[in-house]
Amino acid sequence: APDIDVAAVKGHLNELQSIADSNGGNRAHGQPGYKASLDYIKGKLDAAGFTTAIQEFDFNGSTGYNLIADWPGSSADQVVMAGAHLDSVGRGPGINDNGSGSAGILEVALAVAKADLKPAKQLRFAWWGAEEYGMVGSTHYVGKLGSGGLSKIDSYLNFDMIGSPNPGYFVYDDDPELEKVFKDWYAAKDIATEPETEGDGRSDHAPFKERGVRVGGLFTGAETKKTQEQARNWGGTAGESFDPCYHSSCDTTKNLDDTALDYNSDAIASAIWDLSA
C-alpha cells in the first residue's frame, strides 16, 4: 500500500474548517455546512473516477445525506467497506470528530484511484450523515441494503476520531481478523495499541455489527483521560483527555495530532489494500 501524505489529509481538513467558518461555525446535520462538506468530498471522488451516489433520508425535520463511493471494476459479490461520519455537532466545526476519519478515508480512496488498483474484492467508501443524532445515516443505509445486500459486505471498517491531540492508539476488538490487520501494522512500527472500549456501540460500525457484518476500525480517544502508563507508551499528557475539545467549539484544525493522523491514514491504506486483494 502507498504511504498516505498527511499534508493532503490536512488539506481536506482545512477545507472542512473553512466550510464550517463560512456556515455558522459547524457542519451539523440539517445545517448548510453539512451539505457543503458532502459536496466537497463528492467532487474529489467524481474527479478521481469513483461512482458516487447520495442517499437521502429524513431526520428531525431535515434532509440528511449519506455519500457512497464505489471503485469500479470488481465484482460486487464481496465488498470491503470503509466509512466515517461527516457530520459535526452543532457546537463546533468537528475537525477531529470527525473530519479526521472523513479526510483520512478520502485520501485513501484517492490513493486507490491514483494506483488504479484492481482489487479482487469491490471497494466502497461511505460518509455518513447524522451520526451525532444516533448513527441515523448508517442505520438508514444498513436498513435499505436488506439481507441480500448485507450478505455481500465482507467487512466494514469505521474511522471516527483518528487524530486526537493527546492521542491513544485504539484498535476495535470486535472481529479478531480485522483487529489483527491493524494490530500487526502498529506492531511492525513498534507502537503499542490497546483494544478500543470507549466507543463500543457508539459509532457507525454498530448498525453493521448488529446485522452480522464483521467490523473493525481505529480510534485515538475522546473524553477519557490518558493514564500514566498510556503517556509512557504514547507520549502526550497523563491526566488529560485524549481530546479535550471533544464536541466543543475548539475542535478546529488546531485540535489534531499530525503524527497520529499520519499513522492512522497509512494504516487505513494498508488495511484496504490487504483486505481487498
Q: Which active-site residues does the annotation give?
A: 131
Q: Which H, E and C letters describe 221-266, residue by residue? A: CCCCECCHHHHHHHCCCCCCECCCCCCCCCCCCCCCCHHHHHHHHH
Q: Does 87 bind ligand PHE (CB under 6 A)?
A: no
Least separation in angstroms between residue 160's CB and ligand PHE is: 4
98: helix, coil or strand? helix
- Strand-strand pairing, 62-71 and 194-196: unpaired
Q: What angle do CA 140, 132, 97 make, to 5 degrees?
A: 120
Q: Does 160 bind ligand PHE (CB under 6 A)?
A: yes
Q: Which residues ranging from 211 to 270 are in contact with Ca ion (CB under 5 A)?
A: 262, 266
Query: Rounded distance, CA 65 to CA 176, Å?
Result: 32
Query: Rounded distance, CA 157 to CA 236, Å?
Result: 27
Least separation in angstroms between residue 159's CB and Zn ion is: 10
Q: Does 272 bind Ca ion (CB under 5 A)?
A: no
Least separation in angstroms between residue 269's CB and Ca ion is: 8
Q: Cβ neighbours of residue 137 under 8 Å, at least 6 residues apart?
A: 55, 57, 64, 65, 66, 85, 87, 128, 129, 130, 131, 204
Cell 487505513, residue located: 268
**What does 3 bind: Zn ion, Ca ion, ligand PHE, none (CB cut-off 5 to 8 Å by kind)?**
Ca ion
**What does 155 bind: ligand PHE, Zn ion, Ca ion, none (CB cut-off 5 to 8 Å by kind)?**
none
**What does 175 bind: ligand PHE, Ca ion, Zn ion, none (CB cut-off 5 to 8 Å by kind)?**
none
Q: Alpha carbon of 277 to those of 21, 63, 74, 202, 266: distances in Å?
A: 40, 37, 11, 29, 17
Q: Does 172 bind ligand PHE (CB under 6 A)?
A: no
Q: Does 158 bind Zn ion (CB under 5 A)?
A: no
CA 163 remoteness from chain centre: 11
**Spatial contact of 91 and 154, defined as CB atoms under 8 Å apart:** no
Q: Name the one range near Zn ion by CB under 5 A: 30-38, 135-143, 196-204, 251-259.
A: 196-204
Q: Does 202 bind ligand PHE (CB under 6 A)?
A: yes
Q: How many helices (H) and strands (E) does the chain have?
A: 8, 8
Q: Which residues ranging from 41 to 60 are in contact with Ca ion (CB under 5 A)?
A: none
Least separation in angstroms between residue 277's CB and ligand PHE is: 27
Query: Rounded distance, CA 161 to CA 228, Å?
Result: 22
* 97/257 with CB nearer Zn ion: 97
Q: Of 23, 37, 98, 255, which lies in the binding site for Zn ion, with binding defined by CB under 5 A? A: 98
* 107/131 with CB nearer ligand PHE: 131
C-alpha cell, 152: 455481500
* 92/236 with CB nearer ligand PHE: 92
Q: Does 222 bind ligand PHE (CB under 6 A)?
A: yes
**What does 4 bind: Zn ion, Ca ion, ligand PHE, none (CB cut-off 5 to 8 Å by kind)?**
Ca ion
Residues that bind ligand PHE (CB under 6 A): 97, 131-132, 160-161, 198-199, 202-203, 219, 222
